[in-house]
Structure 1
Amino acid sequence: MEKLKAGGNSGRVLIRYRNAVLLGCTALVAFAPLPVVAQDAAGQASGTVLETITVDGGGTSGDDDSKSIIANSTTGASKMPTDILDTAASVSVITAKEIQQRGADSIEQVLQYTPGITTDFYGADDRFDYYKIRGFDAWAYRDGLTLGDPFGGVREEPYAFERVEVLKGASSTAYGVSDPGGSVNYTTKRPKSEKFGEVYTTGGSYDHAEAGFDFGDNITEDDTLSYRLTGKFQKSDAEYDYSKDDEQFIMGGLTWRPTDQATVTLVYDHLDRDGVPGSGGYPIGTDFETNRFFGEPDFNYRGTDRDTVSLFLDHDFGTGLTFNSNLRYSNSETDFGYAYIASTPTDGSTLAPRYFYANDSTEETLIGDANFTYETSFANVESRTLVGATVNDTSSTSKSWWDLAPSIDWTNPVYTGAPTSLSQIEDTATDQLTKALYLEQDFTFSEKVIASFGLRNDWIDTTVTDNLTPASSSDGSISEFSKRVGLTYRFTEEFATYASYAESVAPPSNGVEPERGEQIEVGIKYRPDDFPAMFTAAVYDLTKTNITRTNPATMLEETIGEARVRGIDLEAKTELTHDLSLTAGYSYLVSEIVENGTQGNEGNELSLVPRQTASLWLNYTREGNDVVGDMTVGLGTRYIGEYFLTDENTSSSGDVFVFDASLAYKIQPNTTFELNVTNLFDEKYVAYGGFGADFYNPGRAIYATLRQTW
């Protein structure tokens, strides 16, 4: 190894030099998973219609994500901002208000009330953001530009984002190469042309101490120059012994509006995380408290150091032609090292074998996208055409070490310290250049029928250098074409139905064909005029082919796999009255391994993919008076159905209900006390296993926040 790290709860020695540049549907409102009987609790209560507000720089006209859980428009399925009712795809939007309501402190928590998405399936493994959409991995994007596969990437900070958009199913035509499950697009907070702000402080479980701020204003009196400053600083432990969960995040943005038609925004952010990768696992069949730790305290670290600069340029030429561009540079360094239980003895011994594993990774990316949109009409047809290009130049390195660690007696654990050396098993450098051209076209006929299609071609050149075998490198070049087509019919201003076909292409390893996905989907959407709400339902058939596996006979990667998922997603988001809001979702799917080459398992279900998931969150506000302030109570429940832990389908989790809760009390008009509880009843289950050890789901956590806004 280049370095070894030591430390535990009291800190660790950092030997690596770190460099940071600082400056539905039906009226779905209730559900129950089978065999529980579904209940209809739809209500047509009279409500207050919220005034539509346009947010500067938000990327979606007509939504104010800080004031409503209902989103009306999206860029999740297309680079053109589109009314969700006119979008021939299943899109869910989690706004900043919903994120704050639920006290979501991680991307997994942000997504876990969205139908079609599964999270927490790796339990106490805290290295990455873990989620699947419709049974498959899903890629992450920021402002429409690729971040990549979250497995192996950086854990994102939700406080940086105005909203999180989820597109379900194949999506390569919109944003480029990706897995077929779908995409998660984060929209960065940008300056507004008004004064606003908040500061808060939070404390709670696991010695958690946190402070944050998000404020901005105009710099000039004529609104041509605005700023925004966002930050979060956290000092905390994690759930288990010998852990930490520290973070420093700072983000600043400037927006210049030289004319009424042009906007330029520059955003810089720095993310520094100092945490741990996980608990080390628990022996199979045992039942320990979730704070127990069977790793190695002096070899247990997970660090992230990333700097990002984003530039946005928008110009409206006033003739139906607009220009939009986005450029992002990022430089990140991540690492982790830990000891984990490798197997559980079956001979009566309580000594669990362990291994050490460590990884250092770097990534430097310059990615840019530019496009023109032209809107026109003729006769009774409205047309929107978008043409654009994307370039992504990424250089990355990955070094890994692995070796046998001393066994640990789980009845009387004795820690042995950090290793003095480990065997290096990987040292690779990868340079990848991706260039793409794309076209999107919408035709609206008589304000009723919307036909849309997209075409995209990605050219990917990849060079991988293996530094463990001198002069060993491989080059690969592919050209991949993807397409989508959709048809939407607006029965009324409130009700629409659609059908679509979409494709995805995942970037391959050198020497093998890309993994591809295809999806057919039909759905309905309902947005009432009487109160803010969105109800959606979708049925889909999704197939992934050319799945890459290592052939055990040749030890070479081959495209020998195929898997299929068919299912239904239902979602409701509504502010029934000024005092009552609801978020509900239900997903049922059937997955099947159609082909797996020499590894078998044909006919089995995909691992870590429950057939059923469901969620419900209710928020009720009791208005105060001159003596007592407003009080808002939130209660949520999540159902995670049983799923297999491995593709062999030899072991499985149980099904479980998990409850969450929140309370907010307005002390003064702009001062609020908030209480958030995740896993209210401390439900514990095995979220991940089958490979020598079990990993539990996150336990109960309680956090109190004092927030001042203006």
Structure 2
Amino acid sequence: MLVSLCSLAQTGGIKGHVTNETEDPLESIHISIKGTTRGAMTNASGEFFLSGLAAEKYQLVVSGVGYQAIERSATVTDNAILTLELTLRETAQQLQTVEIIGRRETTYKNDQSFIASKTATPLKEVPQAVAYVTKELIRDQAAFTVGDVVKNMSGVNQFTFYDDLTIRGFRMNGGSTTQLFNGLRTFSGFWKQPPVNYLERVEVVKGAASALYGNTSPGGTINRVTKKPLTTPQKSLQFTTGSFNTLRALADFTGPMNEEKTLLYRINVGYVNAQSFRNLQFDKNIVIAPSVSFLPTSRTRINFDLVYNKSNSRLDRGQSVAGNDLYSSSIATSLNAINDYLNEETYLITTSFNHQLGNNTAINLAYLRTGYTENLLEHRSSNVNAIDSAGRAIDNLVARQVFVRQTKSFMDNVSLFLNHNFATGRVEHKFVAGYDYIQSSTPKGSGQQTANGYLLKAGGATAYNPKTPERYVFYNYTAPNGIVRSIPKPNVPSYDLALQNNQLEDPTKYTYNVVANASTTPVMYQLHGLYLQEQAKFDRLQLLLGLRYDTYVDKKGYTTNNETNVIQHALLPRIGAVYTLTNNVNIYGTYTKGYNPQDATVQSDPLSGGPFDPIESSLTEAGLKTEWFNGRLTANLAVYNIIQRNTLYSANAADNPNLMRQIGQEQAKGVEVDATGSILPNWNIIVAYSYNDAKITDGGVRAADQVLVNLQKPNAPKQQGSFWTKYTFVSPMLNGLGLGLGGNFVTERNLSLNNAQTIPGYTLLNAAVYYKIDKFQFQVNLNNLANKTYWVGGYDYLRLFPGAPRNFMATVSYVF
């Protein structure tokens, strides 16, 4: 910085010249005096002038769209002009539309979000709640799946064991609801929560993200952000063993592949072989996730990412209990046979191209291909108890059925963005225009066979009719009290909760029916989305305006001679504002509309009772976003109100499990509080709390469904919260030692839409010990210290999903 003094007749001032790193003059750069409303803009020559300044010391803030802001001290003396030469650096992240540059932070706190606005916007300037968990917290808690980490987020709760959550009371599952992967549309196989070893963080945009991503859940949208290549070499190995015969090995290598650092790589590999506290359950997982970045010029970046996951396991349909007694069976109870299996393969291939056309304009083209294959044999509950000759339920016997299924599903997402930053006077603008094309398909070639019902004397099997018992085969059943009675013989042996009859079964002995299952019916839908977004910043006020127009095409009768296009359109606005009250406190508000065409597999299912109207929603939200301890800690508050119409729920029809009912209206309103970051550099903390009143407010057109009004939505606790803290000692005596402590609580929840069946709330306590020696770290995590019996979710008392009892994980890490 070059400083010179020039004489001035009466008043002092500051003039200057602003350039970039190649000494080109920068126009429309804002120079402001910190703590005042005084400021100036640079002209086409990069020059500015602030006049009429009193003789004193000033702090100047120099900022411009696409450049890293800087601060400079400037002392004005009487009758003199201070001349400054200032240089700003471009920030590549400012022009990103998806996350392509590796995150270098190493704390629980994340500063920027790309999915909330498709620009590199600081989280405190996003007019919507965004929750996240970074890889550092994932490591400290020895977490391996998305389900392990969501307990750290306010308003997010498990619905089942699967990739199946509620966010603000609205169900979001990976099989049928929008998920994002590096900001692009994807799905999961539903039965397994995705692993997190290759992720930089897991984040949730609360409320509908429809103005940018189209049909999304009104509760929130999950985005999985992968680890990206770094320019500095880093390598780590991690080995974990512990309860339930767990063995886990992880590796993470990254760095440049040439001297010019124009070719970067990263590869994450994971292997897991673990049993479970649940009978007969196991999981063998192989995850391979390579990533390559090519930088042919300083303005161009090409990324390639692959995630391949192969999983062998059994499908766990949950715990069944006798009658209404939750404690009548062990939480280890599962209804599988020994020879059941679930074999899955999932791949996600991403290619992205980012090019800066100038200092303020960038174009981004990205493509994501998702593929999923499932091969399944399972013995599972029929969702009802076995019956006697009069058709009465036998509490101790659970009726079973068998599924044999093979299926494949695919999704393609092409996303094109133009990102342009500019200024008009003192107003800074970030403008985004984009187009999405999404195609999802289950092609011909999938199929399912089902065995259920009761054996007929004439051969075959069907549902039991107590009016014609003479048609059925009977056998002698010995009840737990020793009484022997004759009852209908099932096609698939019932599960006796007293005997725990998990055994090797012979599936060839059953009578099967080929069924039109929703997950195997050929399905194809396409989505075309056009959207515009403007972010305008004027001093303390920031406005966000977004509008998206979607065309949704469902190919009804796909692959048949009667294939027709069912076309729906949606116009989705978003309005948000952020106002900076102080340097530490921002206040925000937002309104957005959302929609979701009913799941294509349900719409195509002739047994579902459709066709059904699309889901429509609206979100109103306001809150505070604050920073403390020199920006190390964020503390946020959100108050929200969500309205959704036309949601589908199971009709719980014993004779047709595929039958659905459409509810008129639901409402979720509540409060969320989150704090994340560091109190001291060696003291990390994350705290979350939510109150969520999520109810049915209109049962719909059927008078019988009005009894649902004012029922709390399924698996949506009214209150939940969590905390986790890690303290690392810095004194010479305890150097290298760290302690972790955390817990989470969830209040009582309803199951399905039946207020008579509930699962109790619970409070868990967890702890960890860390010890670091040079490049090695030893870590022990202790979970559920009080060995509480609890349930994370469920459908009913025949399909409950218990949480793990007391357990430990021991980890050794090596960084080199």
Gaps of 5+ in 1: 1-53
Instruction: Report the counterpart of residue 698 of structure 2 in structure 1.
Output: 595
Instruction: Report the counterpart of residue 505 of structure 2 in structure 1.
Output: 417
- Residues 62-97 of structure 1 deviation map (CA, whole Å, 9 limit, x = unaligned): 994651111111123211121111110001121111
1:368 and 2:475 aligned: no
Instruction: Report the counterpart of residue 670 of structure 1 in structure 2.
Output: 775
Instruction: Report the counterpart of residue 321 of structure 1 in structure 2.
Output: 361
**Is 2:157–2:166's contact at 8 Å kept on the other side of the alignment?**
yes
Instruction: Report the counterpart of residue 544 of structure 2 in structure 1.
Output: 452
**Is 2:238–2:814's contact at 8 Å kept on the other side of the alignment?**
yes
What is the one-letter code of the residue matched to 1:518? S
Instruction: Report the counterpart of residue 264 of structure 1 in structure 2.
Output: 302
* Residue 700 (structure 1) shift: 2.8
* Residue 154 (structure 1) shift: 5.7
CA root-mean-square deviation: 2.8
1:196 and 2:234 aligned: yes
Match of 1:406 among 473, 493, 499: 493
1:484 and 2:584 aligned: no
Q: Secondary structure at the match of 1:277?
A: coil
**Is 1:607–1:649's contact at 8 Å kept on the other side of the alignment?**
no
- Residues 460-479 of structure 1 deviation map (CA, whole Å, 9 limit, x = unaligned): 21224478xx7565531111
Instruction: Report the counterpart of residue 718 of structure 2 in structure 1.
Output: 611
Q: CA 1:606/1:549 → structure 2, altered by over 3 Å: closer, same or farther? A: closer
Instruction: Report the counterpart of residue 614 of structure 2 in structure 1.
Output: 514
* Residue 689 (structure 1) shift: 4.7
Q: CA 1:628/1:349 → structure 2, altered by over 3 Å: closer, same or farther? A: closer
Instruction: Report the counterpart of residue 138 of structure 2 in structure 1.
Output: 99
Deviates more, 1:691-700 or 1:257-266: 691-700
Using the alignment, how far apart are the partners of 2:290 and 2:100 within structure 1?
22
1:130 and 2:153 aligned: no
Instruction: Report the counterpart of residue 640 of structure 2 in structure 1.
Output: 540
**Is 1:430–1:463's contact at 8 Å kept on the other side of the alignment?**
yes
1:290 and 2:290 aligned: no
Q: CA 1:273/1:624 → structure 2, altered by over 3 Å: closer, same or farther? A: farther
Using the alignment, how far apart are the partners of 2:92 and 2:763 within structure 1?
37
* Residue 628 (structure 1) shift: 5.9
**Is 2:318–2:802's contact at 8 Å kept on the other side of the alignment?**
no
1:353 and 2:399 aligned: yes
**Is 1:547–1:561's contact at 8 Å kept on the other side of the alignment?**
yes
**Is 1:89–1:168's contact at 8 Å kept on the other side of the alignment?**
yes
Matches of residues 82-97 of structure 1 in structure 2 within 5 Å? Answer: 82-97=121-136
Match of 2:152 among 102, 113, 132: 113
**Is 1:106–1:158's contact at 8 Å kept on the other side of the alignment?**
yes
Instruction: Report the counterpart of residue 751 of structure 2 in structure 1.
Output: 645
Instruction: Report the counterpart of residue 242 of structure 1 in structure 2.
Output: 280
- Residues 434-474 of structure 1 deviation map (CA, whole Å, 9 limit, x = unaligned): 1111111111112x00010111111121224478xx75655
* Residue 393 (structure 1) shift: 2.1
What is the TM-score normalised by the length of structure 2? Answer: 0.75
Q: Secondary structure at the match of 2:211?
A: helix
* Residue 289 (structure 1) shift: 3.4
What is the one-letter code of the residue matched to 1:477? I
Instruction: Report the counterpart of residue 47 of structure 1 in structure 2.
Output: none
Identity of aligned residues (%): 20
Instruction: Report the counterpart of residue 251 of structure 1 in structure 2.
Output: 289
Using the alignment, how far apart are the partners of 2:666 and 2:231 within structure 1?
49
Gaps of 5+ in 2: 1-90, 173-177, 387-391, 453-491, 604-610
Matches of residues 621-636 of structure 1 in structure 2 within 5 Å? Answer: 621-623=728-730, 625=732, 629-636=735-742
* Residue 317 (structure 1) shift: 2.2
Using the alignment, how far apart are the partners of 1:464 and 1:154 within structure 2?
28
Instruction: Report the counterpart of residue 312 of structure 1 in structure 2.
Output: 352
Instruction: Report the counterpart of residue 525 of structure 2 in structure 1.
Output: 432
Deviates more, 1:549-558 or 1:685-694: 549-558
1:697 and 2:737 aligned: no
Q: CA 1:317/1:473 → structure 2, altered by over 3 Å: closer, same or farther? A: closer
What is the one-letter code of the residue matched to 2:330? E
1:443 and 2:536 aligned: yes
What is the one-letter code of the residue matched to 1:111? V
Deviates more, 1:336-345 or 1:271-280: 336-345
1:661 and 2:661 aligned: no
Q: Secondary structure at the match of 2:232?
A: coil
Using the alignment, how far apart are the partners of 2:659 and 2:401 within structure 1?
25
The number of aligned residues is 647
* Residue 142 (structure 1) shift: 0.3
Using the alignment, how far apart are the partners of 1:275 and 1:703 within structure 2?
21
Match of 1:502 among 585, 592, 597: 592
Q: CA 1:202/1:521 → structure 2, altered by over 3 Å: closer, same or farther? A: same
* Residue 230 (structure 1) shift: 0.9
* Residue 161 (structure 1) shift: 1.1
Deviates more, 1:417-426 or 1:604-613: 417-426
**Is 1:531–1:576's contact at 8 Å kept on the other side of the alignment?**
no
Q: CA 1:118/1:606 → structure 2, altered by over 3 Å: closer, same or farther? A: same
Using the alignment, how far apart are the partners of 1:561 and 1:418 within structure 2?
46
**Is 1:172–1:505's contact at 8 Å kept on the other side of the alignment?**
yes
Match of 1:378 among 419, 424, 432: 424
